[in-house]
Structure 1
Amino acid sequence: DHRRHRVHGAEEHVPAVAGGGAGDTGEHELASRRERRGKGRKPAKSKKRRTGCACMVVVLVFGGGLGGVGYFGYQFYQNRFGTAPDYAGDGTGETVTVEIPKGAGGWEIGRRLKEAGVVKSAEAFVHAQTNTPGADGIQAGAYLLKKEMSAASAVRLMLDPRSQNNVIVTPGERNSGVYAAIDKKLELSSGTTEKVAEKQYKSFGLPAWAQNHADLKDPLEGFLFPGTYPAAKGMKPEAVLQQMIGQAKQKYAAYGLNEKAGEFGLDSAYQLVTVASLVQAEGKTHDDFRKMAEVVYNRLKPDNTETNRKLQFDSTYNYLLGKSNIHISEEEINSNPSPYNTYRHPGLPPGPIGNPGEDALKAMLNPTHDGWIYFVATDGMSNTEFAKTYAEFLELKDKFNANTGN
């Protein structure tokens, strides 16, 4: 094949220089060169160098898939074999879902499309991708495509958002919303993914520090990491969940949560994830998050006499009810005995109340140290203001009442 031909071709030039199999003429020339170099010096290893260069060319041609490497790989194919096999038109009526993993380049994408019957050859796809503006930005995910498409049509369709079958987990989103989105993308009846999560959560390989916690509303809460994940009809919900959980495990391990818990007076990484979910839920902007993290840590301190270790967060109560409501009466809150009711129970809720994103995680590990212990969304929506004393808090509360008409 052409791989052997290129490497072998490089080797064929070696004997004339190094003498290997060159006959009397080669041996005489080699002896003459040794004499000119000086007694005892080793002959130059030109054979090894030339073979190495040839191998490098082969690796570039066949290992390529991104940018110029993909382009030159296609040019090599075209020069060696001619025009790449390709279908004509926009494809048949039969559709197929193709999953593209992270980091896949043009050749890998083309190979997967060929295996699925979408394009006729990976080489044709690389050529079409190279000649389509913006096509080098094709993202990982699941794509709904047609069989027997021209490579150019396949590229255009992959750039169309309508072909992309993914579930997006947004920072702070609760698992209930993610489950519903997976059901919709996989065209499953409502509640299917939630039931799978409830029955199989022990099989998803959660870290030891995330297991066996009591009174949890959902043991997978906080482990469907924000991001974009392939999800299309024909896939199983557990496969989609596994991707999200795997990403969460990877991120939490990278942050070293289990080792850092003690630095913040907490027992485990699970409590740190819980703090990050509170920061994400209560903070409205990037600047809020570090202050919100300090509020949480200050309220958890044993010597906190301002709130007696009670967080008093509406977000934990709303999570319990599956709602988002900033107008909760004291009577309603005081009557609910749930451990997620942080107005009644001191300390953290049993577990995370959503899926924190990168900003919240970083803020949780790097809080401010300014003495913040109170906060109020004074406009009733997104403008969160912080206070250090109860008197300052009452001023913010008056401002909230004036702005919201309470």
Structure 2
Amino acid sequence: MTEYGRGRGSEPWHPEDPLYGDQGWTGHQTQQGQAPYGGDQQQYPQEQQYPQEPQYQQQPQQPQPQYPQHPQYVEQQHQGYAPQQPVYDSQGWDTGQGQYMGAVQTDPYVAADAYASQPIPVYPGDAPDLYTTEDAYPPPQPPGRRHLEPEPVEEVDEESEDSFFAGGGGGGGRGDDDGDGDEPGGGRRSGRSKGGKPKKRSGTACLLAAVVIIGVVGGGGYYGYSYLKARFGAAEDFAGEGTDEMVDVEIPKGAGLGQMGRILKDAGVVASAQAFVDAANANPKGKSIQPGVYPMKKKMSGAAAVALMIDPSKLNVITIGEGWRNAKVYEAIDKKLGKPEGTTRDIAQRDAKNLGLPAWAGNNPKLIDPLEGFLYPARYDLSKDSTPESLLKQMVKNATDKYTELGIETKAKELGLENPLQVVTVASLVNAEGKNHEDFRKMSEVVYNRLKKTNDVTNQKIEFDSTYNYIKGKSDINFSIKEARALDHPYNTHYVKGLPPGPIGNPGADALSATLNPDHGGWMFFVSVDGDKTTFTKTYEEHQTLVAEFLERQKQKNGG
């Protein structure tokens, strides 16, 4: 007998059989013939009955007889069963007659009842019939009634199932004392030890778990509160204009409001970056804050910090304007650093050669100031470590870097100039006389045309009023041309031919660019009749007409 208790057929009897699942069952198809296992199964008449005869006439060393309609396959005689060929009804389903029948062994010396209903076991001590025992599989059911019964769910004690607090157990044991005992197969369902004693919870484990839970919940609550406060609550802020303690705060170029706020917070100026950002967003000029160094008080409110920083005059910087003369730059440095008047000028004259001038600068003995033209116009951030020397060095470096970038050493020869210093000199004249980039380009054309040897109108004299004013340290537009032409000075272009020995100011980027790229319009003269717009002419006659108009306006303006 097999584990499932039936012979070779098209469908096993129990769903757990791997061959389970025949098709086409009909209600009348069930086990036919006798119930071989002694169960009270309903008998159905067979389609064809065969007279009951003794199944075997056992003779020594003779094969077993077979039924004509039911050929049997004799397999391994010592196993005690012989498979029968399955029999199918008219609908093609197994009728159940092809069963595994234990070979009935009869005693050849004792008369056997051929029609005995009780089978004789093949061997003494044969395995019990699994279909008559307590663990027997149920008889086959029609396909319409077949279904897999769900496995019963074992009720588990909520207080003990795989509890973290159960002590000593490594297999998810239960920690209570009412376990149900061992399960089949050696596994234990309850948490009892093999000795029957209940497992005890570990006090250390409970304490550790409590600490972990409190830490997780507490930490999560703290960070959650911090997040909600930062996200939805009012930002932490100081009140008032701050303390008397001062600190320099440097805002780099390209910094946004958030970065500014973090820099101020780190310096102790504001209580939080968000307070500064909120105040800047609330101020119409809040996004116009410039980079630079700001002298600020500590513990300022966000609004007070923003109010200070939107005022450019509050920046701890010094700004050198385009065209400024060195004398004006020296005064600005002394004032910004709180130095006595003349301090920076004396340092410049004394240490000019040690401030980083290029090799082609400062060699002409007629120069009034070797640093003229090399204090590059820009904004310079100051700190508590700033000195006149450090500022002068930075300005000279910026100018030298700019001149190198423009390639003035090469451009000087292309423009017909003697050296790079003359390029800077022309740019300083252009910056002093012109008002915008368009003026600068035409102005540089005027300079180059007047320097030409073919110039028989001004005889190679530049005749720029700005050079006379440079000598006098003034910026007057009303002065006597007769006096200017009579002044013998190397910088006076009304008196000498050609360019002055050096620049008369510090040209900016526009003037430098225009000097390297003149207009080429053939301009020779210019005049600003109304003091605002500059008019350029090519002939002296046109120029004289404009000069007469300018003088008339000046006469009316002065009440004459």
TM-score when scaled to structure 2? 0.53
Q: Which residue of structure 2 lines up, in the alignment, with residue 396 of structure 1?
A: 546
- Offset at 1:311? 0.6
Report the Cα offset of residue 167 of structure 1.
Answer: 2.2
Partner of 1:96: 247
- Counting matched residue pairs gives 329
Report the more deviating stretch, 328-337 or 268-277.
328-337
| CA distance, structure 2, for counterparts of residue 241 and residue 122 of structure 1 | 35
Aligned equivalent of 1:281:
432
In structure 1, distance between residues paired with 2:397 and 2:271: 34
- Determine the structure 2 residue equivalent to 1:369: 520
Counterpart for residue 317 of structure 1 = 468
Contact kept? 2:362, 2:371, Cα under 8 Å: no
CA shift at 1:322, angstroms?
Answer: 0.4
Larger deviation, residues 114-123 vs 140-149: 114-123
The within-5 A match list for 1:179-198 is 179-198=330-349
Letter of the 1:92 counterpart: T
Amino acid at match of 1:384: T
The Cα of 1:108 is off from its aligned counterpart by 6.2
Change (3 A) 1:161 1:288: closer
For 2:402, the equivalent position in structure 1 comes to 251
CA-to-aligned-CA distance 1:55-108 (integer Å, 9 cap, x gap): xxxxxxxxxxxxxxxxxxxxxxx7599799875553211223333343455676
* Secondary structure, counterpart of 2:295 in structure 1: strand
CA distance in structure 1 between the aligned counterparts of 2:344 and 2:261, rounded to whole angstroms = 31
Asked if structure 1 preserves the Cα contact closer than 8 Å seen for 2:290 and 2:312, the reply is no
Counterpart of 1:166 (choices 310, 317, 323) is: 317
Shift of 1:324: 1.3
CA 1:349–1:128 in 2, change beyond 3 Å: closer, same or farther? Answer: same
1:318 shift after superposition? 0.7
Q: Which runs of 5+ in 1 are unaligned?
A: 1-77
Partner SS, residue 209 of structure 1? coil
1:120 shift after superposition: 6.0
Note the 1:53-202 alignment, pairs <5 A.
Answer: 89-104=240-255, 109=260, 113=264, 116-119=267-270, 135-150=286-301, 153-202=304-353
Sequence identity percentage: 53
Between the aligned partners of 2:525 and 2:326, the Cα distance in structure 1 is 28
- For the residues of structure 2 that align with 1:207 and 1:101, how far apart are their CA atoms? 29
- Counterparts of 1:90 and 1:214 in 2: how far apart (Å)? 54
Match of 1:385 among 521, 530, 535: 535
Helix, strand or coil at the partner of 2:247 = strand
Cα distance per residue 1:20-53 (max 9 Å; x no partner): xxxxxxxxxxxxxxxxxxxxxxxxxxxxxxxxxx
Mapped contact 1:187–1:233 kept (Cα < 8 A): no
Query: Aligned letter for 1:166?
Result: V
Gaps of 5+ in 2: 1-225
Q: Is 2:340 the partner of 1:212?
A: no
- Partner residue, 2:497: 346
Q: Tell me the distance in 2 between the aligned counterparts of 1:350 and 1:104.
A: 43
Cα separation, 2, equivalents of 1:403 and 1:158: 44
Give the 3-state SS of the residue equivalent to 2:360 in structure 1. Answer: helix
Mapped contact 1:142–1:232 kept (Cα < 8 A): yes
- Structural mapping, 1:294-333, within 5 Å: 294-333=445-484
- From the superposition, tell whether residues 398 and 129 of structure 1 become closer, same or farther in structure 2 (CA, over 3 Å): closer
Is contact 2:237-2:272 (8 Å) kept?
Answer: yes
Query: Paired residue for 1:265, among 416, 430, 437?
Result: 416
- Cα distance change on mapping 1:226 and 1:162 into 2, 3 Å: closer
- The 1:94/1:388 distance shift into structure 2, 3 A limit, reads same
- Separation in 2 of the partners of 1:263 and 1:175? 29
User: For residue 441 of structure 2, what is the amino acid of its counterpart?
Assistant: R
Give RMSD over aligned pairs: 3.1
Aligned mates of 2:554, 2:490 — CA distance in 1: 29
Whether contact under 8 Å (2:294, 2:315) holds in the other structure is yes
Q: Secondary structure at 1:259's aligned position in 2? A: helix
